[in-house]
Structure formats: C-alpha cells, structure tokens
Structure 1
Amino acid sequence: MQSRQSLELRQHQQLALTPQLQQSLRFLQLSTQELELEVAQALNDNPLLEREEEYDTEAGAEVANDAQAMDERWTMLGSANRAGNNNADEETERPETALTETLQEHLQEQLRLTRAQPRDCALVSLLIDELDENGYLLTSLDEILAFLPAELDVGLDELQAALRLLQSFDPPGVAARSLSECLALQLDHLPVNASFPAQVLALARKIAADHLPLLATGNLNRLRDALACEHDTLLSAHALLLQLEPKPAKEWATSTAAYITPDVLVRKIRGRWIVSVNPAVMPRVRINRVYEGLLGEAPAAPAMQAQLQQAHGLIKSVNQRFVTIVRVMQAIVDRQMDFFEQGHSGLRPLQLRDLAQELDLHESTISRATKQKYVQTPWGVLELKRFFSSALQTDDGQSTTPSAVQMLIHKLIEGESGKKPLSDSKLAALLAEQGVVIARRTVAKYREAAGIEPAIVRKARAALEAHQG
C-alpha cells in the first residue's frame, strides 16, 4: 500500500485565553487583601504606575494654609494664657500612653516581690515563659526537666516547688495544667464564709476534680446521683463553678480581632436597594502622566512600551473586577429582596447557575466573584457566598432555605418553657406543622449550626437561673 501526502483545510472554534483575560480572571478571584498586595507589587515593578493622590494640589495647599493659620492662632492663644497665668504648665505635649502589660511581665513583677532564692526564681521564670496565651502550662514538668542541662542538677521536686509558687500568683488559676486543675486553684483562693460555705466549696472541688465531663452534659440529675448530694447544694456548687474563669490570662490576651472590610455596600436609595463599591478597598492607581506623555511623543524602547501596556492592563483588570462584583451583587439583591427588608428569615434559595443565566456569565465567574468577597448590609457584613443555598421544599409547594429554617427553630426555642424545653423530635413536629418537613437529625444539625444548645442543657441552665433568682 502506498502512502500519499495531502493538504487539507479545516475550520474549528477554540477559546483562547489572552494574557489580559487571564489577569482579569485572576484578579476577580483574589480577596481584597490579596488584590492590594498584587497592586503594591505592580507599583514596585512598573515605574509607569503610581498611586493617585487623595487630594489635588490646590486643595492640599488650602488645607496647608488652614493648618498654618490654625497653628498661629493656637500659638497666640498659648502665649496669652502663659502671660496671664505664670503657674500654668508650659508642657504642651501629651504624656505617652502607657504600654499594655503582658502576662509574663505581670508574673515577673510578683516574682520580684517574693523572697525566693535566685535558683528558684530562675526556675519560676522558666515556667512563666512556657505559659500559653490562656495562662496554662501545657508542657509537662518531665519534658521541661529533660531539656534542662544535666550539670544544673535540677530535680523534679525543685520544679514542682517552683510550679506551686507560680500557681500562688495572680491571676488565680495561672500555670494550671488542665481545666480541672485551673478550677481547683481558683477554688483554693476562695475563703470559707457565708457566700462560699464549706460544703459547697468541697462539692465544687469534687466536681472539678472528677466530674467535669458529666457536668458538661447538663444532666444534673445524673450528677446528683453520682455525687450523692442534695439538689440545692449541687445547684450552688454549679453556680460557683460558673463564676470561675476557665482562661485565667483572659485580661492579658494581646490578640486583636480581625475586622472585615466589605468590598461593596448596599443602601436603599429612593425605595430601591442599590449596590456600590466601597471606596476604602478600591485601589487608587494611575499611569504617570509625564512618562506617558514622553512615550507618546518619541519612539520608546520595546521594554518601556511593554510596561505601558502592562500598566493599562492592570488598571483595566482592577476596574473590571469591581464592575463584575457589583453586577453580581446587584443581581443577588434583586433576587433576595426579602432578606434586605426582613432579615435572615427572608433568604430564598439561590444557585450559581441562576445568576449565570441572568447575567450571561459562566458559573465559574460567579463563583470567583463571590468567593472571599463581602458586602455591608443592614443585617451585618456577609460573604457573598452566604446568599447561595439549596432549596428545601415545603408542603405547599414553596421553597425555603436552611438559614430560614434556623430562624424558625430559633423562634420556636425562644417561646419554649424552661422547665420543659423542646426536644429535636418536638421541633421537627412543630416545623412539619408549618410545612417544613425535615428529619430529627437535620433539625439537630441546623440547631447546632445556629449555636443553640441541646434541650437537656437548656433545661439545666433554666433550673440554675431559677435557683439563682
């Protein structure tokens, strides 16, 4: 058989992602913090890019003039006050704010006030450095002893004595090795008096030492049988344990809350909910006008032309990112109008393909535009992903969302009796009466997601509150 060579022309369509489109998709997927880092890197790499000034030159000059005039008036006023009052304090600077004391510094200060020997102080300082942010000593004494040089000849009894000294410091419960020991240390600091009877203190110590898992279940009847005590004494001991602090170093915690800056804002303007970009997260970048003018007047090197093209592409990708996010969020607002008017109970089922068809975008684009993007609503700052959920069918043919079911469960529990709280089975029956038919295990899952305790714990808590009242 002879082989023949031939030329053929064929036509076919193929989607090609240009570098500009790839950059736009990547920017769309980035969070606000990641976008800011990307823009900052571009500003360092590309000399044609620069940040826009918040105020123009003329406005800045006016502000400077006003500030200078204000300084002159304050200077004249200060001179007049000093002339009229020779005893006035001439120090105009404010005192510096005192630095926040750490837990380690607080404990070291107490250690310096003791009469411990230098060797004991060194061991206590070693233990202080091993405390975690909650004030617990999570490293065992044997491990600490193993890391100490052998030539120091430190015995376990010395380390235990140093630990006992540290545990006597303020705050009570510090340097505990478990929650049980932490509560016991705090109980040891309490005096025996009318507020803390000896019988109640002894029972609280016994619960802290041996029965914390049973106490966590909330079944006070089983706990009373295990302790063989009076019910009123058990309630008093329980109330005493609730007054203790499971995290002794809570007041010295240095961790700060992480606040979320929303990407877009939703406001009601003339009866309609409108979406707008949050100016605080919009990168203010532009192309340097001087450089751009010079490149336009005379032929430039290919590298400079490439940087100019990259600068235009970055600005376009950033703007396109926010345009897409606003489009997607506005479509969400139009479909979730009941949520913005009523709250979480007004959420309706919504899926990615619903918006993809409406906006003529791919589902992956909707997913990128809603991942790690946040919106400021009348009901708080929420991630855009929160507005998407599958549908739960009701008896009347309507559909609801898991968030709406959680709100129904919350309302039912708010109206329950403390002596006879609603079990998950009873909640499932009450929801079925309202047309939402779900299994008991599903009710338990939604209840836990809403942060609601089981019925037995709610019953124990209500009994304790009634006893305290």
Structure 2
Amino acid sequence: MKPRLQTSLGQQLVLTPQLRQALHLLQLATPELEAEINAAVESNPLLDWEEPAAGGDGDADGVHGEAHDGAGTDTAAARDDDRGDDAWQDDGDGAWSGSGGGGGSDDGDGDGDASERIAQSETLRDHLSWQLNLSHLSPREVAIGEAIVDAIDDDGYLREPLAAIAEGLAPELDCSETEVACVLDKVQRMDPTGVGARDLGECLLLQLAALPADTPGLAGARRAVSTLIDRLPRLGVSGLAEALGCDGAEADTVLHLIRSLDPRPGAQVGGMPQDTYVVPDCSIVRRNGMWRVVLAGGSHSRLTIHRGYEQMLQHAAGADAGYLRGRLQEARWLLKNIEARGETLLKVVRCLVREQSGFLEFGAQALRPLTLREVAAQIGMHESTVSRAVSRKYVHTPRGTLPLRAFFASGIDTGSGGEASSTAIQDMIRKLVDAEDPRKPLSDARLAASLKDSGVPVARRTVAKYREALHIASSHERVRIS
C-alpha cells in the first residue's frame, strides 16, 4: 500500500486550561471565588478593579434598585435575567408568573436570622448521600449504598472489603458480596469522578472511562494504568513508549493525560472551613406576583481589564509584548469564565423556581420531588455540571437564605398516582408530632397510618428514618405527664 495523506472531520472534547478553570470556578462557593479573584488581581497586572461611577450611589440609573431587598444586584445579572428563554417570561423584565396567592412576603425580610448565615461544612459523605437519595434506586440498594458511602475515606477510596460491608449489613439486610459490588458500580458513577475506587489504578481507570472515546492517548493511558501503574513513577517518556510499543510523541500524550487525572478525588469536596458566613450567590424576589431571579453583586462584578496596560501592548515589543499578551489572554479567560459561571447558575436557579414555585409560596410541604437528572435534562447540561453549580451555593428568598440543595428532594409514590417529596413528608411528620397529645404521643406505626390516610403510603421504618433526621425523639421519650 502507498502512503497517502487524507483529511477528515471530527469532534472531540479536550480538557483545555480554560475549561479546567471554568469547572473550577463553577464549584467554588462565593467566599472562595472572591479569594480566587483577589489572588488573580494581585498576580496579573492586566486585571484591575473598575472604579465606581461618580455622582452618588448608583440609584440614579436604576442598577442597584434591588439591593434593598437583601442581596445586591449585579448589572450583568439583570441583563442576563432579562434574556429569559422560556415560557415563564411574561413582561420582558426577566420575571416569571407564579401561581399567585399568598406565601412569602413581597420582597423579602432583610437578612433574616443570624444563625442562617453560618455555613455548615459539607463532607464527602454528605455529598455522596445526597446524590444517592436522588438516584433511581430501590430502598434496598439505597441501604447498601449508605453502607458503602460510610466506608469511603476522605480521599474518595473504599478501603473496606466488599465482604465486610455485606457482613456488616447482615443483621438487618441479608445481601451478597455480588449485590454490594453492583451498588458500588453505581456509586462509582457519582460526582466526583473516581470516587469509590479500591486502589489508585481503579480510581484512574474510572476517570478515564468518563472521558470521550476520541480523547487523544485514551487507549494507551488505559493500558498504562492497567498494567504499569506500579512502574509509572519510574518510567519516563522513552520507557513508557517502549512498554506500550508506540513512538515518543504518543507516549508523551499518554503521560500528559495520566498526569491530568486526580489521584485524590474525594479531596475536591469538604474543604470549606467551619464558621464561614454564607454569602448568597443569587436572590429570588417577588415583584407584582412574579418571581424574579438575579445574581448577587460581589467584587467579581467590578473586575475589568486594565486599559493602560492593554494600550501599552500596542506599542510593546520583544519579551515585554509576549508577557503582556499572555497575561491579557489569562485575564480574558477569567472574565469569560466568571460570566459563564453566572449564566450557568442563573439557568439552574430559573429551573428550580419554575419547578418549586409552590415551595417558595407555601413552604416545605409543597416541595415536589426533583432530581439532578431532571434539572440537567431541562437546561441541556450534564448532571455533574448541575451538581457543581448547586454545591455550596446559597440563594436569598422571602423564606430566608437557603442552600440550593434545599430545592431537591427524592420522591415517594402517593395513593392518588402522584409523588410526595421526602422533605414534604418530613414536614407532615413534624406537624403530626406538634399536634399530638403529649400524654399519648404517636408511635411510628401510628404516624405511618396517619400518613397513609392522607394518601402517602410510607413504611414504619421510613417514618422512623425521617423522624430521626428531624431529631424527634421516639414516642416513649416524648411522653409528658403534665
């Protein structure tokens, strides 16, 4: 055969530095984003803070008119919100019609109680359990999954043998090692990618399996991780090329791909310190019976490119020009990725408002079942992107400052053919306990019977689980003589 050249068209996803930065910024909480931006401004001379407009506090142009409702309003956020692309937009100002009626106050009640501003550190176990309860799994699989999640360490590795997990479940749940392995396979598909691996090789293979099939060097990376994981630290490019039977360029691509993987995926979650004040990322306010979503203002809204250095670049030459061009590109990437973060967050919150308007108006009992998969399908994004967007993000609402995860809940089929969210059921249990006779408190069985009469068939064990989650004591501990 004769060697010949030919062209072909194709698409592939490459994890560029710009894409890495976008994913990193998306999962940051607001205080962490502010710290990241401050560090970027200190190290990059092409970044600067935009000076506030002269002549007052900005109320004249109507930009900061929403700031009195609690969280500040960002100019770009207001413009983004005005470009609503769904049927809920009605009057051209970015508002959506709700179901009307009562509910929350017209425009919030200030900052709310101080206790709601203290952020709780989210652990890896919390992150995985939340995803587990939103997955389409049977109660038996969820119980096995919880045991697996409990055995995963802070780095994201499962150190306990599957046989020991099955044995630990034996008193209440008789399951085999094979059944535990099946549930582990589902846990390993959760965010962060690579979690639940039993060793470094499996962790890297899980991350490689999540990449597109046409990623450069993917096949060689799989072979290297599967057969050469113990020798990889000692092999250079030439040694890897010899072991894989490929040329130096391909071996370099394989090595670069392996180095881009995260050997400790669990460390991505749970890094937020205790006693950190919550800074809402956006606000949900009611205006004339409509729900409106705006991003909260912050230092990132004042970030801009230093015009002096940008003009200097036109006359620079040699090494100075190369340095300034590189810094200018980094500055533009950062500004673009911050804007993309805000747009993604707005898309997610808009979807949550559409789906959970009843929750905003009537409280937890009106919260409907909602999963990451449903939100991702509606806004055209991947589940992992939605998970990053809501992780450690807070929203200011007429009902207080809430984590975005409060808008998600698993569901249980009701007798009428619909679904009731776990949060709504917990609210019903709390109301039943509050209204009970203190001399004859309701047992878990009687609570289950009351819920069944209301059209929500729930097992006694499920009631006990929800009661414990609400920190409500058992019936014999709630007895009051007087």
Q: TM-score range by the shorter chain?
A: 0.5 to 0.7
- Secondary structure of the structure 1 residue equivalent to 2:12: coil
| Structure 1 residues 9 and 47, CA gap change in structure 2 (3 angstroms) | closer
| Structure 1 residues 394 and 277, CA gap change in structure 2 (3 angstroms) | same
Tell me the residue number matched to 2:427: 407
1-side partners of 2:455 and 2:378: how far apart?
Answer: 30
1:42 lines up with 2:40 in the alignment: yes
Tell me the residue number matched to 2:80: none
Tell me the residue number matched to 2:309: 291
2-side partners of 1:22 and 1:427: how far apart?
Answer: 49
Shift of 1:297: 4.8
Asked whether the 8 Å contact 1:36–1:283 carries over to 2, the reply is no
Q: 1:360 aligns with which of 380, 386, 395?
A: 380
Map 1:225-304 to 2 at 5 A.
Answer: 258-280=276-298, 282-299=300-317, 301-304=321-324
Tell me the residue number matched to 2:478: 458
- Secondary structure of the structure 2 residue equivalent to 1:368: helix
Alignment deviations for residues 267-300 of structure 1 (CA, whole Å, 9 cap, x no partner): 0012111111111464521111211122235555
| Structure 1 residues 56 and 5, CA gap change in structure 2 (3 angstroms) | closer
Shift of 1:455: 1.1
1-side partners of 2:325 and 2:28: how far apart?
Answer: 27
Q: 2:438 is matched by which residue type in structure 1?
A: G
Q: 2:292 is matched by which residue type in structure 1?
A: I
- Secondary structure of the structure 2 residue equivalent to 1:279: coil
2-side partners of 1:13 and 1:31: how far apart?
Answer: 33
Stretches of structure 2 that go unaligned for 5 or more consecutive residues are 58-273
- Secondary structure of the structure 1 residue equivalent to 2:417: coil
More helix, by proportion: 1
Asked whether the 8 Å contact 1:350–1:390 carries over to 2, the reply is yes
2-side partners of 1:308 and 1:5: how far apart?
Answer: 43
Shift of 1:394: 0.3
Tell me the residue number matched to 2:413: 393
Asked whether the 8 Å contact 2:348–2:386 carries over to 1, the reply is yes
Q: 1:51 aligns with which of 43, 49, 52?
A: 49
Asked whether the 8 Å contact 1:39–1:283 carries over to 2, the reply is no
Shift of 1:51: 2.0
| Structure 1 residues 402 and 285, CA gap change in structure 2 (3 angstroms) | same
1-side partners of 2:420 and 2:378: how far apart?
Answer: 21
Map 1:433-448 to 2 at 5 A.
Answer: 433-448=453-468
| Structure 1 residues 457 and 400, CA gap change in structure 2 (3 angstroms) | same
2-side partners of 1:59 and 1:414: how far apart?
Answer: 52
Tell me the residue number matched to 2:333: 313
| Structure 1 residues 42 and 270, CA gap change in structure 2 (3 angstroms) | same
Alignment deviations for residues 381-410 of structure 1 (CA, whole Å, 9 cap, x no partner): 221122122221001101011100011101
2-side partners of 1:260 and 1:5: how far apart?
Answer: 63
| Structure 1 residues 443 and 360, CA gap change in structure 2 (3 angstroms) | same
- Secondary structure of the structure 1 residue equivalent to 2:392: coil
1-side partners of 2:369 and 2:34: how far apart?
Answer: 33
1-side partners of 2:378 and 2:341: how far apart?
Answer: 18
- Secondary structure of the structure 1 residue equivalent to 2:36: helix
| Structure 1 residues 5 and 49, CA gap change in structure 2 (3 angstroms) | closer
2-side partners of 1:354 and 1:329: how far apart?
Answer: 13
Map 1:96-245 to 2 at 5 A.
Answer: none
2-side partners of 1:336 and 1:422: how far apart?
Answer: 31
Asked whether the 8 Å contact 1:32–1:281 carries over to 2, the reply is no
Tell me the residue number matched to 2:100: none
Map 1:69-88 to 2 at 5 A.
Answer: none
Moved more, 15-24 or 430-439: 15-24
Alignment deviations for residues 228-263 of structure 1 (CA, whole Å, 9 cap, x no partner): xxxxxxxxxxxxxxxxxxxxxxxxxxxx95431211
Tell me the residue number matched to 2:190: none
- Secondary structure of the structure 1 residue equivalent to 2:293: strand
Q: 1:292 is matched by which residue type in structure 2?
A: E
Shift of 1:4: 7.9
1:369 lines up with 2:367 in the alignment: no
Alignment deviations for residues 339-369 of structure 1 (CA, whole Å, 9 cap, x no partner): 0110111111111121222211121211111
% identity of equivalent residues: 42
Q: 2:313 is matched by which residue type in structure 1?
A: L
1-side partners of 2:3 and 2:335: how far apart?
Answer: 50
Alignment deviations for residues 59-100 of structure 1 (CA, whole Å, 9 cap, x no partner): 59xxxxxxxxxxxxxxxxxxxxxxxxxxxxxxxxxxxxxxxx
Asked whether the 8 Å contact 2:313–2:321 carries over to 1, the reply is no
| Structure 1 residues 11 and 423, CA gap change in structure 2 (3 angstroms) | same
Report the structure number with the largest CA radius of gyration. Answer: 1
1-side partners of 2:380 and 2:276: how far apart?
Answer: 36
How many aligned residue pairs are there? 265
| Structure 1 residues 43 and 401, CA gap change in structure 2 (3 angstroms) | same
Shift of 1:11: 4.7
Asked whether the 8 Å contact 2:31–2:279 carries over to 1, the reply is no
- Between the two structures, name the one with larger relative contact order (CA 8 Å, sep ≥ 6): 2
Alignment deviations for residues 311-359 of structure 1 (CA, whole Å, 9 cap, x no partner): 1111111121112111110110011010011011111111112122221
- Secondary structure of the structure 2 residue equivalent to 1:301: helix
1:21 lines up with 2:19 in the alignment: yes
- Secondary structure of the structure 2 residue equivalent to 1:430: helix
Asked whether the 8 Å contact 2:37–2:300 carries over to 1, the reply is no
- Secondary structure of the structure 2 residue equivalent to 1:47: coil
Q: 2:282 is matched by which residue type in structure 1?
A: V
1-side partners of 2:277 and 2:35: how far apart?
Answer: 18
- Secondary structure of the structure 1 residue equivalent to 2:279: coil
- Secondary structure of the structure 1 residue equivalent to 2:277: coil
What TM-score do you get using the length of structure 1 for normalisation? 0.53
- Secondary structure of the structure 1 residue equivalent to 2:314: helix
Shift of 1:41: 1.3
Shift of 1:380: 2.0
| Structure 1 residues 58 and 438, CA gap change in structure 2 (3 angstroms) | closer
Q: 1:294 is matched by which residue type in structure 2?
A: M
Stretches of structure 1 that go unaligned for 5 or more consecutive residues are 61-255
| Structure 1 residues 265 and 282, CA gap change in structure 2 (3 angstroms) | farther
- Secondary structure of the structure 2 residue equivalent to 1:382: strand
Shift of 1:13: 2.8
